[in-house]
């Protein structure tokens, strides 16, 4: 039986968006093309002069890798060429890129947020990296483009996905009607449907967190980590700790086999460190569509109203039962703090 390609799948699903008239389908195909080009460069990283830092820093103050810049350029070129995208917000740029100023894109209805190369610090080490994208629809395409338009709730995304460049290259995406994964077949140069209707298990036995920051975590995260490490045959504990350092890689594993990914607030980053628009919203949309949960503290990630392009947030995301267990520790910690505050107030 012949494998269904990404292009064929997108065309078949076009009827799900009668208002789109094919623009969203073309936009997704443009992203697929950029992913193929980036994949080619990633796979020859040890042979070409694209390893290491390029000497600049992005808006986050992080050293840019050469491949960061290359991936960013490829996505911008692909999205600019098609005409369906009117605005690009990239982790690598302080300001968004308004494509309505280019004649080819004056009719574009869609805005794209992207992390061109997530986990790029691993690229020199031949560890899996990825790209993340999020697509929003303009409220009124007839009006002049305004940067504030892209500051929409995460639940207003019309599509989101990621590409993971690893032992095989996969593109996983959702348009709000389930999650599907496509593996790049290098023999024909096409992404082919390999993981239809992806579902994350409700329970898992793997937790993913940078435990090097343990002392800087809030108490409820410390308590949850201890819970994960405690032996309990009834709940299949202790859990296994797995942390790659690339959100795409860690969450791809979590989506496939179940588990939880935690990137909480710390004493150094009280508002969290991961970006809401480029990382947390698209990943939360995907995981929720696959049956999981994504929280920022007690709040659902997709209900956070962004206030600026590079806004950060904590995130707890993965299998539903595991995320709910973190919620229990969080509630318990809050109740303890409130009780202590009352005692201090009374004694004062």
Binding positions for substrate: 118-121, 210, 243, 273
d(CA 92, CA 281): 17
What 8-state DSSP symbol labels residue 94? S
Query: How crowded is residue 81: how many other Cβ atoms within 10 Å of its Cβ?
Result: 14
- Under 8 Å CB-to-CB from 295, ≥6 apart: which residues? 301, 315, 316, 317, 323, 326, 327
d(CA 175, CA 180): 10
Length of the chain: 348
Under a CB-based contact definition with an 8 Å cutoff, are residues 154 and 304 in contact?
A: yes
d(CA 120, CA 52): 10
* Binding site as annotated, residues for Mg(2+): 91, 115, 117-118, 279
d(CA 87, CA 225): 40
* Binding site as annotated, residues: 91, 115, 117-121, 210, 243, 273, 279
SS (H, E, C) 187-202: CCCEEEEEECCCCCCC
d(CA 159, CA 263): 23
Q: Where are the beta strands (DSSP E) in the chain?
A: 53-57, 63-65, 85-90, 97-98, 110-118, 129-137, 159-165, 169-174, 179-185, 190-195, 206-208, 240-241, 260-263, 274-275, 293-296, 299-300, 312-313, 315-318
Under a CB-based contact definition with an 8 Å cutoff, are residues 199 and 291 in contact?
A: yes
Backbone angles phi, psi at 325, to 5 degrees: -65, -40
d(CA 191, CA 183): 5
């Amino acid at each position: 039986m012949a494998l269904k390609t990404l292009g064929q799948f997108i065309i078949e699903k076009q009827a799900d968006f009668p208002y789109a008239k094919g623009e969203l389908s073309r936009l997704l195909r443009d992203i697929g093309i950029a992913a193929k080009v980036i994949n080619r460069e990633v796979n020859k990283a040890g042979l070409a002069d694209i390893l290491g830092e390029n000497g600049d820093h992005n808006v986050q103050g992080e050293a840019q890798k050469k491949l960061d810049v290359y991936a960013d350029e490829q996505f911008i070129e692909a999205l600019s060429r098609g005409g369906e995208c009117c605005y690009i917000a990239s982790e690598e740029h302080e300001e968004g890129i308004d494509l309505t100023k280019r004649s080819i894109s004056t009719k574009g209805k869609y805005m794209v947020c992207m992390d061109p190369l997530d986990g790029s610090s691993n690229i020199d080490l031949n560890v899996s990296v990825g790209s993340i994208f999020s697509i929003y629809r303009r409220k009124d395409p007839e009006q002049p483009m305004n940067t504030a338009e892209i500051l929409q709730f995460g639940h207003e995304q019309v599509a989101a996905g990621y590409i993971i460049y690893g032992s095989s290259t996969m593109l996983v995406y959702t348009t709000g009607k389930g999650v599907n994964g496509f593996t790049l077949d290098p023999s024909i140069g096409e992404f082919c449907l390999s993981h239809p209707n992806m579902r994350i298990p409700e329970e898992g036995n793997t937790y993913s967190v940078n435990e090097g920051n343990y002392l800087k975590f809030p108490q409820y995260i410390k308590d949850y980590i201890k819970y994960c490490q405690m032996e309990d045959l009834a709940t299949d504990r202790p859990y296994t700790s797995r942390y790659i350092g690339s959100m795409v890689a860690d969450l791809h594993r979590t989506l496939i086999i179940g588990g939880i990914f935690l990137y909480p607030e710390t004493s150094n980053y009280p508002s969290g460190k991961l970006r809401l628009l480029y990382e947390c919203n698209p990943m939360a949309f995907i995981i929720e569509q696959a049956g999981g949960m994504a929280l920022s503290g007690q709040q659902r990630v997709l209900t956070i109203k962004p206030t600026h392009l590079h806004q950060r947030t904590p995130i707890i995301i993965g299998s539903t039962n595991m995320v709910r267990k973190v919620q229990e520790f969080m509630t318990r910690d809050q109740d303890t703090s409130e009780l202590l505050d009352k005692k201090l107030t009374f004694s004062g």
